[in-house]
Structure 1
Amino acid sequence: MAPLKSMEKDHPLIDTHFQSFFEDFLLYDLHALIASADNHSSSNTFKQGIDQLLSVIDAKLPSLRNGLQLLQDAECNKLLLPTGFQGIDALLGGGLRAGQLTELVGPSSSGKTQACLTSASTVAKNGGSVIYFDTGNSFSPQRIADLVGQTSGYVVGNQAELGPLQRVMERILCYSVFDIYQLFDMLQQLKINLKSKIVESDHRIQLLIIDSISSLITPILGGSGPQGHALMISAGYLLKKLADDHNIAVLVTNHMVAGEGGTSKPALGESWKSVPHIRLLLSREYGSNVCNISTLKHPSVASGRAAKCTMYL
Structure 2
Amino acid sequence: MNAPDKFIEAAREVPASVEAEQSVLGALMVDNDSIDRIGDLKESHFYRYDHRMIFEHISKLIVAGRTADMITVFEALGNSGKADQVGGLAYLNTLVQNTPGSAGIARWADIVIDRWKLRGLLSASDEVAEMVFNRAGKSVSEIISEAQAKFEPLAEAKSFEPKMPGPILTEIVTEIDERYHGAPLSVTSTGFADMDAKLGGGLRGSELVIVAGRPSMGKTAFSMNIAGNVAQDGGTVLVFSLEMSGKALHQRNIARIGGIPLGHVLDGKKITESDWPRLTHAVSVMSEMMLLVDDTSGLSMAEIASRSRTVKRRYGLKMIVVDYIGLMTGGTEERQDLKIGGYSAGLKGLAKQLDIPVVALAQLNRGVEQRPNKRPTMGDLRDSGAIEQDADIILMLYRDEVYNPDSPDRGTAEIIVGKQRNGETGPVRLAFIGEHQKFADMAPGYVSAPRTTPEKTRRGFE
- TM bucket normalised to smaller: 0.7 to 0.9
Distance in 2 between residues matched to 1:65 and 1:78, nearest whole Å? 25
Partner residue of 2:256?
147
Q: TM-score, with normalisation over the residues of structure 1?
A: 0.73
Structure 2 unpaired stretches of 5+: 1-14, 26-45, 78-88, 114-157, 177-183, 261-275, 435-462
Larger of the two Rg values belongs to structure = 2
One of 24, 34, 42 as aligned partner of 1:13: 24
Distance in 2 between residues matched to 1:237 and 1:143, nearest whole Å? 30
Structure 1 unpaired stretches of 5+: none
1:186 aligned onto 2:304: yes
Contact 1:103 1:278 (8 Å CA) reproduced: yes
What amino acid is the match of 1:167? E
What amino acid is the match of 2:343? A
Contact 1:83 1:115 (8 Å CA) reproduced: no
Partner residue of 1:172?
291
Distance in 2 between residues matched to 1:218 and 1:185, nearest whole Å? 10
Contact 1:217 1:268 (8 Å CA) reproduced: no
Q: TM-score, with normalisation over the residues of structure 2?
A: 0.52
Shift of 1:253: 1.1
Partner residue of 2:391?
276
Distance in 2 between residues matched to 1:295 and 1:69, nearest whole Å? 29
- List aligned pairs for 1:1-313, cutoff 5 A: 12-13=23-24, 16=48, 17-22=50-55, 30-31=63-64, 37-39=73-75, 40=77, 41=89, 42=91, 45=95, 52=105, 60-64=159-163, 66=165, 69=168, 72=171, 75=175, 79-137=186-244, 140-150=249-259, 155-158=277-280, 162-168=283-289, 171-179=290-298, 181=300, 183-191=301-309, 194=312, 197=313, 199-200=314-315, 204-216=316-328, 223=335, 229=338, 231-258=339-366, 262=370, 265-285=380-400, 286=402, 287=405, 288-303=410-425, 305-313=426-434
Q: Over the residues paired in the alignment, what is the CA RMSD in angstroms? A: 4.4
Q: Report which stretch shifted further, 6-15 or 125-134.
A: 6-15
Q: Map Cα deviations across residues 125-181 of structure 1 (whole Å, 9 max, x no partner).
A: 111111101121165211112222249xx93333x774322112xx11111243353
Shift of 1:185: 1.7
Distance in 2 between residues matched to 1:38 and 1:116, nearest whole Å? 53
Contact 1:284 1:292 (8 Å CA) reproduced: yes
Q: CA 1:289–1:126 in 2, change beyond 3 Å: closer, same or farther?
A: same
Q: CA 1:98–1:31 in 2, change beyond 3 Å: closer, same or farther?
A: same
Contact 2:58 2:73 (8 Å CA) reproduced: no
What amino acid is the match of 1:244? K
What amino acid is the match of 2:196? D
Contact 1:278 1:299 (8 Å CA) reproduced: yes
Q: CA 1:240–1:228 in 2, change beyond 3 Å: closer, same or farther?
A: same
Q: CA 1:255–1:228 in 2, change beyond 3 Å: closer, same or farther?
A: closer
